[in-house]
Structure 1
Amino acid sequence: MKISYNWVKQFIQLDWDAEKTGELLTDLGLEVEGIETYESVKGGLKGIVVGHVLTCVQHPNADRLKVTTVDLGDGEPVQIVCGAPNVAAGQKVPVATVGTTLYDADGNGFKIKKGKIRGEVSNGMICAEDELGLGESHDGIMILNEDLVPGTAASEVFAIENDTVFEIGLTPNRADAMSHYGVARDLKAGLLQKDVKLELITPSTSSFRVDNRTLKIDVDVEDKTLAPRYCGVTISGIQVKPSPEWLQHRLKAIGLTPKNNVVDVTNYVLHELGQPLHAFDANFISGNKIIVKTLESGTKFTTLDEVERELHEDDLMICDVDKPLCIAGVFGGINSGVTEHTTNVFLESAYFNPVSVRKTAKRHGLNTDASFRFERGIDPNSTEYALKRAALLIQELAGGEITSDITDSYPTKIEDFEVRVSFENITKLIGEELPRDTIKNILSSLEIKINSVTDGGLGLIIPAYRVDVQREADVIEEILRVYGYNNIKFDEKWHTSISNTSRYEDYKLQDVVATQLISQGFYEILSNSLTTASYTALSEQLKTAHNVTMLNPLSNDLSVMRQSLLFSGLEAISHNINRKQSDLKFFEFGKTYHQYSEDTREEQKHLSLLVTGNTNAETWRESKPVPTDFFYIKGIITALFDRLGLNALKSSPVKNDLFSEGLTLSLGKTKLVEFGIVKRKVLKAFDIKQEVIYADFNWDQVIDVVKNRKIKFKEIPKFPQVRRDFALLIDENTSFAEIHQIAKQSERNLLKEVSLFDVYQGKNLPEGKKSYAVSFTLQDEHKTLTDNQIDKIMNKLQQSFEKQLGAELR
């Protein structure tokens, strides 16, 4: 938002430099992102002075040039060669002195230098109006008033505008500051804390009067919910023409292009007071009646930008008895606006429902100065005042008469609202006890009325235009921003406390898991919980009826709450692949949202893992990168469960149709994770051509299982382990699980571990046989094992394998 400093000074007579004022605005929460200079004439006529032509003779070497001597007010006349046909002795003229920079129509600068023109010295340049940027004429030099004193700066002679413009990064909640008056009101409050007491000057409308009642236009507001207040008045006999320079400069300074005196007045008042207005050509209003209503869905309407739009049934429209004229609060129609032929206007000032305006503007892809203000909430009680202000300006600039009473449809007044704030909570939130008189002065300076005062706090009446101040905390924030965040003192002593929380708290377990995943090369992502409803079509298990839909979606792509973390993760995968990052490992903690019935909504927390591409980048040591696969992510998942103390998990085939193949790991009847390879059909929807492996943890269930898992501790044995190996020749159908089971049954006490470290099938083995190399780890926790004990155990194992499996030692 651009704010003109000269314009602000019309409301508050402040003589601070722009930098200092910008700092105060930032401290008040109106962050100044940049300060620019506006000049109605580029260069500000710097270096241009009034000169008195003393002599003017023909150039000896050029028929079209004259040699002049010019008094510049410094006592030493200078010689200037001039080519203008109208230059003559005795004239007062504008002179660009040596070193001055002039600008052409494109803004390109050139510097005036001392030089020779056809052999004659020239110390400056006598200028035409186009060379100074004061007009378009180049027929000859400008002739100035004879009474001017030589040496007078041209900037003092011509009515040029030099202004400072603040670029304010306005936050959406500060609807009250969307105008020059609103900024001045904040400045007044901030200055008061610096002991600078200035009055806030408001434009007077006391001269408003009805001249006659010859053009009455009736107003019928059919939808009073969407248009709580609607005002209008007619002005007849106007003359539409260009605006005066002062008004054009005001608009140009903040980046607006002047149109004509009527349209410019409506824009001026909008940026002055924050109240959008609209001027209709009264001669195009059929039946002399304005109707504020919604129309049937699909109704065609052509807006000012010459685009034909289809209206929605909820779009509020300004109509006459035959046709729509304007999208209320958003954009005007192509055939009802003010043109150079307009003589009578109907001037509208209204308060429209903010939510309705926002939905309409989003629906049609429109973002105008009017909708920007309406959708954030304007002052409903300044509607009539702004209308009078604009009507008087139109009369001043375009002539005409007020030809009707003001129509004001305001059936239900939007009241100010009450908030109670306690002194204790002010101190608690600010962290410092402010003097009570200071608190009261700040609130009064913000036009917040103090309704009651007690020892405990204040009863306040908040103006209706402060839509962002609804709670006690909001009031305290207002007090603090005006008092100044930088004025809060910091104690040199820091106070900390340590809370006694369970090691199984959600955030603690998340930290444990996240730390492990990051150490394994994963990156954490955080995606939007809002998504598109079309993703449910990618799985039969995701039902459209279970979507939690937004009442006021920002767009169709953000219209429902997600039922799965997979799709937002695939969006991130696709985004990175499209930017040449194809080796990816992501994880995300997030919630899914489900509406299982009209009254039953459920949130479920999940942990999702996504891997694709190679496990490691290509290096000089490893020229062939290893691609990620199902077993890679299985190892990651197993390591996570080991870290959480969960083992003895049961695996079963995955039943989720998002996977082409995969597993489900459960502990008892509790399903903890599903993981596998994502179906190509799903990947195709995201334009992903490489394999993606996905794991979906039910994090709520994981936490419950971990909390109920009892951890047993035992002392680390002091005595050494012993390893012995067998090379067993067994039937090819025999599994390692059978060997493991038989070994454990044969020796329950001293056999600690059974491992398979080699498998061989093929040459030199009998048909139908295979060779397993199995290791056995033995340990006695109370003493060192003897050779006799070890041999006895190994013989027992050998006999068991021979008897039960028909195994042979190789």
Structure 2
Amino acid sequence: MEVSYKWLQAYIDLPESPEEVGKRLTATGLEVEGIDTIDAVPGGLNGVVIGQVLTCNKHPDADKLNLTTVDVGAAEPLPIVCGAPNVAAGQKVVVALVGATLYPRSADGRPAEPFQIKKAKIRGAVSEGMICAEDEIGLGQSHAGIMVLDTDLPNGTPAARYFNLEADYQIAIGLTPNRIDAASHFGVARDLKAALNRPLRLPSVDAFTVHSTDFTLDVRVEDTEACPRYTGLTISGLTVRESPQWLKQRLIAIGLKPINNVVDITNFVCHDLGQPLHAFDADQIAGNQVVVKTLPEGTPFVTLDGVERKLSATDLMICDAEKPMCIAGVFGGQQSGVTSQTTRIFLESAYFAPTSVRKTAQYHGLKTDASFRFERGTDPNMPVFALKRAALLILEVAGPDARVTSAITDLYPSPIAPFRVLVRYRNIDRLIGIRIDHTEIHRILDALDITADEQTSEGFVAVVPPYRVDVTREADVIEEILRIYGLDNVPLSPVLAADSLSEFPKTDPDQWQNRIGQLLAANGFYEILTLSLTRPAYHDAIRQTLPGADVTLLNPLSDDLSVMRQTLLFSALETLVYNINRRQRDLKTFEFGKVYHKATADDGSVKYVERMRLSLALVGNQQAESWRQKNQPVEYHDLATAVQRVLNLFRVKSVDTQPADPTLFQYGLTYLVNKKPLVSLGLVQPKLTKLVDLKQPVFYADFDWSALLKLAGSKTRYEEVSRFPEVRRDLSLVIDKAVTFEQISRLASQTERKLLRSLNVFDTYEGANLGADKKSYSVSFILQDATQTLTDGAIDKTMQRLITAFERDLGAVIRK
């Protein structure tokens, strides 16, 4: 949300700079995200000042030029050559100094090419500036002569101050959903009033008058639950035209585009007071009736943007005697909008129920300034005041014949009462952490329009105005006290400060996530961050493997983003295909993310479960294309190497394996520790990659991050480097294809526990000469004794035990 610094100054005295105001707003909970300068005219008239012509003489070499000296408040007057026919000594004029950039207007009022003022010689005479006409500084179209001012301002005064065109500042506030009360300049000023302890100036509506009741409409509300309060009046004799400069400047300063004087006033009041308004062309209201009601399901309605929409049976509509005119609180209709031909309007100011507006806005996918406010909760006591304020402003800008031609209609059968909240002083002290003087507590609450009732020594009942929809509990009231008192004014307890170091967990998940991220990035992986929302079709494809039911959204933005993901797989696949479609085909990605599902507890209740996972994905070639080597596609062992590096960092020495889930993987393994799955890896099933239109093979690994962290507690062990050498022996084993290297490794470790340090496959072979369903593994064995040098006899004896075990348990044939 954007607010204007100068607009805020209309409500409260602000000698502070915009930056200082931004800091105070942030301290109260209205976080300022940025401050931008907004020039009233291009260039902001920088370098343009008020001056006085001291002398004026004809140029000796040019009949149409004058030699002048001009006092601009500097130590010496400036010599300026001027060609205007009306320049004369004694005049107060507008002077552009050397270095100023001007943004002129052409004769038709359009912006012309900007130019910079430079020191020059004109027909031999030095000129150090320019005395300006109105078109030359972008304030008009006239070029008949220079501007002659009637002012007592000192020479050297910036011209922007004289023309009331000083720069404004747009303050961007990251408004949280609970603070809809601050969605206006009045609302922001209320917080400043409390924080700075200064009075607030509310605009007066005392001048409001009903001139006649010649044009009164019949107004009815049939759905008082969706529309608790509805007010309106008529204005006749108005002229729809361009807004005056002050109004356009206000809207431009907060990023709005001026439309016409009537619509601009409704937008102005919306951002001024936080009360959305709507103006109907009264001549388009059939039967002089305004009816607030719902319409049958599927009723067509064309909104202001020219789109025909099918109404829901729950959409609250503003109708006349024949047709709908507006989606209440959301968007106006095309037929009843204000145009340049409009001379009479019905001006609406209402309070609509937040749930009703929220459902309608969500159903039609419409987000407007009005719906933004109504669906969060506006002030039910503001409609009449805002109506009078808007009417007075419309009378001011819409021509001398504009008149209020009806009394105010105010339909408010069941007024909304303030919230009453019991507050105890001991809870204020407990939650804030320090004792605040009771006088200061009540000053803060009074400044926030929260009054105290039933006061005792123990506490009081806080009477909270209904526009503070977020203050309904004792803790909410205490939060209001704290944010105005200032978090920075609450000292940190020395005890807490001293004890804080002992509170760090033994295993820091963030630290481990950072370490693994650095490891993977160092090995060519890119981290990805994806949405937790996904398509139901993905889960349908792997339904039998999912741990529970989907967590579905009640009000999804679209069907493609309607469930919480139960796996990171499809997030990775979508990222891969996005990059591949942009010619980035060789990819290695990783992601830390949560997955979600619903489970049924033993007592039959439903619980929601979220789990942290780590995923790796590989696609394309192992390295970038190079003249030194041929392209080599990634394969299973590239992924297995990356997985092993992660496990090594957690010092996972041994794992059990089982085939990976065939629903997800065409082939692969699941590593288990203590009989529980730790990571699954393999080639993704092609039918799953086709769901995202990905045609390349993808290797994917999915870690149970929580299980990994449980393995991170072991301490690092250091061993002295052995003084005795290692010995390597190689064997070639012909075995059945069904036998895995894991079986060979496990059997070797069980057979020789003392001397065997490691083993590795350094070659494989399959061929017809080996026999059907046979393969050959060439395996190296590293042997070492920590206490002595191995002898040939000990080595041969060890290798023979290994050979015997392989032949007996695996049916291996040792190749010579």
- The answer on whether the counterparts of 2:551 and 2:596 sit within 8 Å (CA) in structure 1 is no
| Residue 164 of structure 1: aligned partner | 168
Displacement of 1:277 in angstroms is: 0.9
Displacement of 1:566 in angstroms is: 1.2
| Residue 655 of structure 1: aligned partner | 662
| Residue 603 of structure 1: aligned partner | 609
Q: Whose radius of gyration is greater, 1 or 2?
A: 1
Residue by residue over 1:590-649, the C-alpha shift from the partner in whole angstroms, topping out at 9 and shown as x without a partner, is 223247899746536363432314797569999568754334445666787796879673
Which stretches in structure 2 are left out of the alignment for 5+ residues?
106-110
Displacement of 1:584 in angstroms is: 1.0
* AA in 1 matched with 2:164: I
Displacement of 1:386 in angstroms is: 0.7
Displacement of 1:259 in angstroms is: 3.9
Asked whether 1:548 is paired with 2:551, we answer: yes
| Residue 262 of structure 1: aligned partner | 262
| Residue 183 of structure 1: aligned partner | 188
Residue by residue over 1:92-116, the C-alpha shift from the partner in whole angstroms, topping out at 9 and shown as x without a partner, is 5735366484431237654556655
Displacement of 1:409 in angstroms is: 2.8
| Residue 441 of structure 1: aligned partner | 443
* AA in 2 matched with 1:178: A
| Residue 204 of structure 2: aligned partner | 204
| Residue 596 of structure 2: aligned partner | 592
CA distance in structure 1 between the partners assigned to 2:207 and 2:768 by the alignment: 116
CA distance in structure 2 between the partners assigned to 1:394 and 1:741 by the alignment: 88
CA distance in structure 2 between the partners assigned to 1:100 and 1:751 by the alignment: 86
Displacement of 1:276 in angstroms is: 1.3
| Residue 390 of structure 1: aligned partner | 390
Displacement of 1:543 in angstroms is: 9.5
- The answer on whether the counterparts of 1:545 and 1:595 sit within 8 Å (CA) in structure 2 is yes
Say which SS state the counterpart of residue 204 (structure 2) adopts. Answer: coil
Residues matched between the structures, number: 794
Moved more, 325-334 or 724-733: 724-733
The percent identity for this pair of structures is 42
CA distance in structure 2 between the partners assigned to 1:802 and 1:255 by the alignment: 82
| Residue 463 of structure 1: aligned partner | 465
Moved more, 12-21 or 211-220: 12-21
| Residue 418 of structure 1: aligned partner | 420
CA distance in structure 1 between the partners assigned to 2:515 and 2:395 by the alignment: 73
CA distance in structure 2 between the partners assigned to 1:628 and 1:176 by the alignment: 57
CA distance in structure 2 between the partners assigned to 1:62 and 1:508 by the alignment: 80
Say if 1:428 and 1:35 are closer, same or farther in 2 by CA, change over 3 A: farther
CA distance in structure 2 between the partners assigned to 1:216 and 1:96 by the alignment: 55
Say if 1:617 and 1:744 are closer, same or farther in 2 by CA, change over 3 A: closer
Say if 1:358 and 1:50 are closer, same or farther in 2 by CA, change over 3 A: farther
Say which SS state the counterpart of residue 51 (structure 2) adopts. Answer: strand
* AA in 2 matched with 1:550: L
* AA in 1 matched with 2:444: I
| Residue 290 of structure 1: aligned partner | 290
Say which SS state the counterpart of residue 8 (structure 1) adopts. Answer: helix
Say if 1:342 and 1:670 are closer, same or farther in 2 by CA, change over 3 A: same
* AA in 2 matched with 1:286: A
Displacement of 1:557 in angstroms is: 3.7
Moved more, 282-291 or 675-684: 675-684
- The answer on whether the counterparts of 1:51 and 1:71 sit within 8 Å (CA) in structure 2 is yes
TM-score by structure 1 length? 0.79
Residue by residue over 1:179-202, the C-alpha shift from the partner in whole angstroms, topping out at 9 and shown as x without a partner, is 22122212211112xxxxx32121
* AA in 1 matched with 2:700: Y
Say if 1:51 and 1:549 are closer, same or farther in 2 by CA, change over 3 A: same
Displacement of 1:792 in angstroms is: 8.2
Moved more, 548-557 or 451-460: 451-460
- The answer on whether the counterparts of 1:230 and 1:350 sit within 8 Å (CA) in structure 2 is yes
CA distance in structure 1 between the partners assigned to 2:593 and 2:393 by the alignment: 59
- The answer on whether the counterparts of 1:742 and 1:801 sit within 8 Å (CA) in structure 2 is no
Moved more, 535-544 or 252-261: 535-544
Asked whether 1:96 is paired with 2:98, we answer: no
- The answer on whether the counterparts of 2:27 and 2:483 sit within 8 Å (CA) in structure 1 is yes
| Residue 108 of structure 2: aligned partner | none
| Residue 36 of structure 1: aligned partner | 37
Residue by residue over 1:48-83, the C-alpha shift from the partner in whole angstroms, topping out at 9 and shown as x without a partner, is 33558977x7x77666x2647688699999987655
- The answer on whether the counterparts of 1:128 and 1:142 sit within 8 Å (CA) in structure 2 is yes
Say which SS state the counterpart of residue 617 (structure 2) adopts. Answer: strand
Say if 1:107 and 1:481 are closer, same or farther in 2 by CA, change over 3 A: farther
Say if 1:301 and 1:140 are closer, same or farther in 2 by CA, change over 3 A: farther
Say if 1:584 and 1:71 are closer, same or farther in 2 by CA, change over 3 A: closer
- The answer on whether the counterparts of 1:95 and 1:126 sit within 8 Å (CA) in structure 2 is yes
Say which SS state the counterpart of residue 45 (structure 2) adopts. Answer: coil
Say if 1:771 and 1:243 are closer, same or farther in 2 by CA, change over 3 A: closer
Residue by residue over 1:438-466, the C-alpha shift from the partner in whole angstroms, topping out at 9 and shown as x without a partner, is 22222221112223445555532322222
- The answer on whether the counterparts of 2:660 and 2:680 sit within 8 Å (CA) in structure 1 is no
CA distance in structure 1 between the partners assigned to 2:507 and 2:684 by the alignment: 32
Say if 1:445 and 1:668 are closer, same or farther in 2 by CA, change over 3 A: closer
Displacement of 1:177 in angstroms is: 1.9
Say if 1:491 and 1:116 are closer, same or farther in 2 by CA, change over 3 A: same
CA distance in structure 1 between the partners assigned to 2:637 and 2:319 by the alignment: 68
| Residue 134 of structure 1: aligned partner | 139
- Once the two structures are superposed, the pairs formed by residues 236-635 of structure 1 within 5 Å of their partners are 236-296=236-296, 298-358=298-358, 360-361=360-361, 366-398=366-398, 399-454=401-456, 457-490=459-492, 494-496=497-499, 526-536=529-539, 538-539=541-542, 541=544, 546-575=549-578, 577=580, 578=582, 580=584, 582-594=586-598, 600=606, 603=609, 605=611, 607-613=613-619, 623=629, 628-634=634-640
* AA in 1 matched with 2:284: F
Residue by residue over 1:744-772, the C-alpha shift from the partner in whole angstroms, topping out at 9 and shown as x without a partner, is 99989989799686889899999899988
CA distance in structure 2 between the partners assigned to 1:701 and 1:148 by the alignment: 79
Residue by residue over 1:118-159, the C-alpha shift from the partner in whole angstroms, topping out at 9 and shown as x without a partner, is 5677676554332343322234445666x9899696959965
Asked whether 1:686 is paired with 2:687, we answer: no
Displacement of 1:679 in angstroms is: 2.5
* AA in 1 matched with 2:173: G
Asked whether 1:235 is paired with 2:235, we answer: yes
- The answer on whether the counterparts of 2:766 and 2:776 sit within 8 Å (CA) in structure 1 is no
| Residue 195 of structure 1: aligned partner | none
Moved more, 564-573 or 762-771: 762-771
CA distance in structure 2 between the partners assigned to 1:263 and 1:327 by the alignment: 17
Moved more, 174-183 or 149-158: 149-158
CA distance in structure 2 between the partners assigned to 1:362 and 1:67 by the alignment: 68
* AA in 2 matched with 1:554: L
Moved more, 739-748 or 167-176: 739-748
- The answer on whether the counterparts of 2:170 and 2:253 sit within 8 Å (CA) in structure 1 is no
- The answer on whether the counterparts of 1:548 and 1:595 sit within 8 Å (CA) in structure 2 is no
- The answer on whether the counterparts of 2:237 and 2:343 sit within 8 Å (CA) in structure 1 is yes
Say if 1:594 and 1:565 are closer, same or farther in 2 by CA, change over 3 A: farther
- The answer on whether the counterparts of 1:92 and 1:148 sit within 8 Å (CA) in structure 2 is no
CA distance in structure 1 between the partners assigned to 2:734 and 2:128 by the alignment: 112
- Once the two structures are superposed, the pairs formed by residues 608-757 of structure 1 within 5 Å of their partners are 608-613=614-619, 623=629, 628-634=634-640, 649=656, 651-652=658-659, 654-656=661-663, 658-664=664-670, 674-696=680-702
Residue by residue over 1:400-424, the C-alpha shift from the partner in whole angstroms, topping out at 9 and shown as x without a partner, is 3333232223334333223444545
CA distance in structure 2 between the partners assigned to 1:508 and 1:22 by the alignment: 34
Displacement of 1:322 in angstroms is: 2.0
CA distance in structure 2 between the partners assigned to 1:344 and 1:672 by the alignment: 73
Say if 1:148 and 1:801 are closer, same or farther in 2 by CA, change over 3 A: closer
Say which SS state the counterpart of residue 162 (structure 1) adopts. Answer: coil
Displacement of 1:315 in angstroms is: 4.0
Say which SS state the counterpart of residue 338 (structure 2) adopts. Answer: coil
* AA in 2 matched with 1:583: L
CA distance in structure 2 between the partners assigned to 1:261 and 1:726 by the alignment: 92
TM-score by structure 2 length? 0.78
Say which SS state the counterpart of residue 342 (structure 2) adopts. Answer: coil
* AA in 2 matched with 1:591: V
